[in-house]
Structure 1
Amino acid sequence: MDVKKLKQDIITYSQEIGIDKIGFASADPFETLKQRLIRQQKLGYQSGFEEPDIEKRTNPSLLLPEAKSIIAIALAYPSKMKNAPRSTKDERRGLFCRASWGRDYHHILRERLHQLEEFLLNKVPEAKVKSMVDTGELADRAVAERAGIGWSGKNCAIITPEFGSYVYLGEMITNIPFPPDTPIEDQCGTCNKCVEACPTGALVQGGQLDSNKCIAFLTQTKGFLRDEYRTKIGNRLYGCDTCQLVCPENKGKDFHLHLEMEPDPEIAKPKLRPLLAISNREFKEKFGHVAGSWRGKKPIQRNAIIALAHYKDRTALPDLIMIMHKDPRPVIRGTAAWAIGKIGDRSALVELEKAKETEKNEEVLGEILKGIQLLKE
């Protein structure tokens, strides 16, 4: 088998099917990453969404025993929205991060990887392959870095020379020993803009993230948010782009190469108040195809309430009062009570006092008391 020719054939085919960048790496264990992950675990910096088994995250041969190399792919996504609707005083809007614009990238990348698999197996029927995207065991960034897709930036994203950090990543482990590509040298240098701009200080230092403080993670949780984070979220409904927006490597980078990644402005930047009353069915119909819907409507609704409090949107008070009295979910009831305290005036005090008399949940009661205190102040 002419492995060099096969590699070139795969590169050519990848371009034909809309893969924006491809790289090849050895399937040796990721020893440096392993030590970093052990340290992250000890410090309690992991989010809980990642694969818990560090060995699986760092040793490709545990996922494919015959592993010899890994093919890494990247697809560029847009950073600017055409015809973005404005948030007005009468119609406040929330925002999904750029990685959740357009169709769910997990599906897009899996389809591309499946096409690559078929191409490779057609050429080499005895080849062994295993592909994954984001939720797979391997650390996408470590693979992409080794394969020369880009360098691992201080913002904990892979930064490519061509597309900045606005790329989705995926990889395929195989038993074919492809010649590896050369990693790109770190080009962040002394720049520390992302670390300094992080709203919650989640970037502890360049390249080290405390996931539990990261707004992108916090917007996906389902419980009550700590007060200090509520004031930082702003109008974000899902994810956070701050560390990408301030990155000099992303300046002027905006690629519209894939139609399925183009955002629908009414989904990527939706009106907040209609989200409060949306049913499960309506939520699935409207938002089900985007990555930001994976945790269901509850975190999005909680974040919408926080966003309305951020805007001090008095038009939302009747909705929030009804939610505080009637919603069966403690987190939504309690967050609404807190928001009423942030937005309302003395007239809303009556409703909070009324809720205090009937509420049985201790956590919700705590939020009602916070709301009362805010109004009295």
Structure 2
Amino acid sequence: MSIHTIDYTVLAQNIKKWGKELGFQQVGITDVDLQNQEKALQDWLDNGYHGEMEWMARHGMMRARPDELLPGTLRVISVSMDYLPPEAGFAETLKQPHKAYISRYALGRDYHKLLRQRLKQLGQKISAEVEQLGFRPFVDSAPILERPLAEKAGLGWTGKHSLILNAQGGSWFFLGELLVDIPLPVDSAVENECGRCVACKTSCPTGAIVDDAVIDARRCISYLTIELDGIIPEEFRTAIGNRIYGCDDCQLVCPYNRYSSLTNEKDFHCRPQLYQQDLLTLFLWDEKTFLSKTEGSAIRRIGHEKWLRNIAVALGNAPYSDKFVDALESRLGFSEMLDVHLHWAIQQQIQHRKAATHTRQNKTARLIRIVEKGLPRDA
């Protein structure tokens, strides 16, 4: 088709239809102008909120300029794909401190390749209609502000937890972008409907949401358990609880997530070797087992040492168990970094044992007093 005979309005409608046929729940189109995001991005970097994610600062304002990432880009096709599995089991796992809580997005197949392949297929469909189309798919893999682009494309609004929300699907979805060099008509942003709700801000275990839609990654459990390579600051270890990979708390309390749709992708369903497993079971995996059990999973990229680090912290937060202490002690000498967390966890277990002993002694003393007074035991 010649560029002079293209009906871009019809093409945009077809793109949205093709996208949904490929499994995307939403498809929107926006231009590349993100100038109004540059100051907020620079302030975020200047405040050091990116922590040790040095690539955030290295790419600087390119993140707000998609046409620098792929010269000639005129439009961004933004897509979403639901990932909430049918057997999510949020509260059940968080309420059982001996179980391992893994962020819902990471319990199935790594989403990067799946979404990128679907976006590539969408680009190829467009190429069949447009001569000399330039396109490039991205899925959380390039210096690009995907959430502001998704907001401009009408996929939802930016919640106070900084994630994209919409009234129909909540926030349990992945985002992806297809950069193209054709002047498609753009979509309109939707109204922000968070109102006065601050549930996400007040529920964050570590106070990482420092302002509306502003996250201090250095305090975020997802950053601490995934992105941070070294020692988790002691001030955050207790708050981490049994979360060994990521955190969903800000999404769990969001009213709009009551209406979230379950994923249609079986690849995103929970893998049994990761779902609601005992901390001790996962902690005893050697590196070969870890690599085998996490094959095709986003979890694999943190490596075995950080996996053990995260579980050690969770074991330190769990109620006392001789088995936990024995397991923690068995890992001593693995590495200097891990040893810091192992020693902390062992000390925590000792404190839990003392507290439990003190509680039992108090209960025994109370029963003795009741018997001496001749009162009923339930008095």
Kindly indicate whether the alpha-carbon contact (under 8 Å) linking 2:107 and 2:271 is maintained by their aligned counterparts in 1. yes
* Matching residue of 1:239: 246
Kindly indicate whether the alpha-carbon contact (under 8 Å) linking 1:151 and 1:158 is maintained by their aligned counterparts in 2. yes
* Matching residue of 1:20: 25
Which amino acid is the alignment partner of residue 206 of structure 2? Answer: T
Q: Give, in angstroms, the shift of residue 339 of structure 1.
A: 1.1
* Matching residue of 1:139: 145
Q: Give, in angstroms, the shift of residue 312 of structure 1.
A: 2.6
Kindly indicate whether the alpha-carbon contact (under 8 Å) linking 2:273 and 2:293 is maintained by their aligned counterparts in 1. no
Task: Classify 1:91/1:208 alpha carbon distance in 2 versus 1 (closer, same or farther; 3 Å).
Answer: closer
Task: Classify 1:35/1:129 alpha carbon distance in 2 versus 1 (closer, same or farther; 3 Å).
Answer: same
**Which of 206, 213, 229 does residue 219 from structure 2 map onto?**
213
Q: Give, in angstroms, the shift of residue 253 of structure 1.
A: 2.0
1:47 aligns with 2:51: yes
Which amino acid is the alignment partner of residue 134 of structure 2? Answer: K
Secondary structure at 2:273's aligned position in 1?
Answer: helix
- Structure 2 portions without partners, runs of 5+: 1-5, 355-379
Give, in whole Å, the separation in 2 of the partners of 1:84 and 1:218: 20
Give, in whole Å, the separation in 2 of the partners of 1:268 and 1:88: 12
* Matching residue of 1:166: 172
Secondary structure at 1:237's aligned position in 2?
Answer: strand
Task: Classify 1:144/1:174 alpha carbon distance in 2 versus 1 (closer, same or farther; 3 Å).
Answer: same
1:149 aligns with 2:185: no
* Matching residue of 2:118: 112
String of CA shifts for 1:305-345, please: whole Å, max 9, x gaps: 11111113412111112222xx3311222211111111137
**Which of 87, 92, 98 does residue 98 from structure 2 map onto?**
92
TM-score (norm 2): 0.85
Q: Give, in angstroms, the shift of residue 347 of structure 1.
A: 11
* Matching residue of 1:10: 15
* 1:74-89 alignment, distance < 5 Å: 74-78=80-84, 81=87
Secondary structure at 2:274's aligned position in 1?
Answer: helix
* Matching residue of 1:335: 341
Q: CA RMSD, aligned part only?
A: 2.4
**Which of 282, 287, 296 does residue 280 from structure 1 map onto?**
287
Secondary structure at 1:162's aligned position in 2?
Answer: coil
- Structure 1 portions without partners, runs of 5+: 349-377
Look at both structures and tell me which one has the larger radius of gyration over its CA atoms. Answer: 2
String of CA shifts for 1:220-248, please: whole Å, max 9, x gaps: 12322111100000001111101101111
1:318 aligns with 2:317: no
Q: Give, in angstroms, the shift of residue 277 of structure 1.
A: 3.2
Which amino acid is the alignment partner of residue 23 of structure 1? Answer: G
Give, in whole Å, the separation in 1 of the partners of 2:156 and 2:93: 35
**Which of 301, 306, 311 does residue 313 from structure 2 map onto?**
306
Give, in whole Å, the separation in 2 of the partners of 1:145 and 1:346: 46
Q: Give, in angstroms, the shift of residue 281 of structure 1.
A: 2.1
Q: Percent identity?
A: 30
Kindly indicate whether the alpha-carbon contact (under 8 Å) linking 1:212 and 1:218 is maintained by their aligned counterparts in 2. yes
What is the aligned residue count?
345
Task: Classify 1:95/1:265 alpha carbon distance in 2 versus 1 (closer, same or farther; 3 Å).
Answer: farther
Give, in whole Å, the separation in 2 of the partners of 1:192 and 1:67: 37
Q: Which moved more, 1:264-273 or 1:291-300?
A: 264-273
* Matching residue of 1:371: none
Task: Classify 1:311/1:125 alpha carbon distance in 2 versus 1 (closer, same or farther; 3 Å).
Answer: same
Give, in whole Å, the separation in 2 of the partners of 1:298 and 1:335: 11
Secondary structure at 2:313's aligned position in 1?
Answer: helix
String of CA shifts for 1:3-51, please: whole Å, max 9, x gaps: 11111111111111111110000122x1121110110111111134354
Give, in whole Å, the separation in 2 of the partners of 1:152 and 1:102: 25
1:130 aligns with 2:133: no
Q: Give, in angstroms, the shift of residue 292 of structure 1.
A: 2.4
String of CA shifts for 1:185-214, please: whole Å, max 9, x gaps: 111111111111111111001111111111
Task: Classify 1:6/1:200 alpha carbon distance in 2 versus 1 (closer, same or farther; 3 Å).
Answer: same
String of CA shifts for 1:269-303, please: whole Å, max 9, x gaps: 33222333322221111113222222112222111
* Matching residue of 1:61: 67
Give, in whole Å, the separation in 2 of the partners of 1:258 and 1:139: 25
String of CA shifts for 1:335-369, please: whole Å, max 9, x gaps: 11111111137999xxxxxxxxxxxxxxxxxxxxx
Q: Which moved more, 1:19-28 or 1:339-348?
A: 339-348
Which amino acid is the alignment partner of residue 229 of structure 1? Answer: F
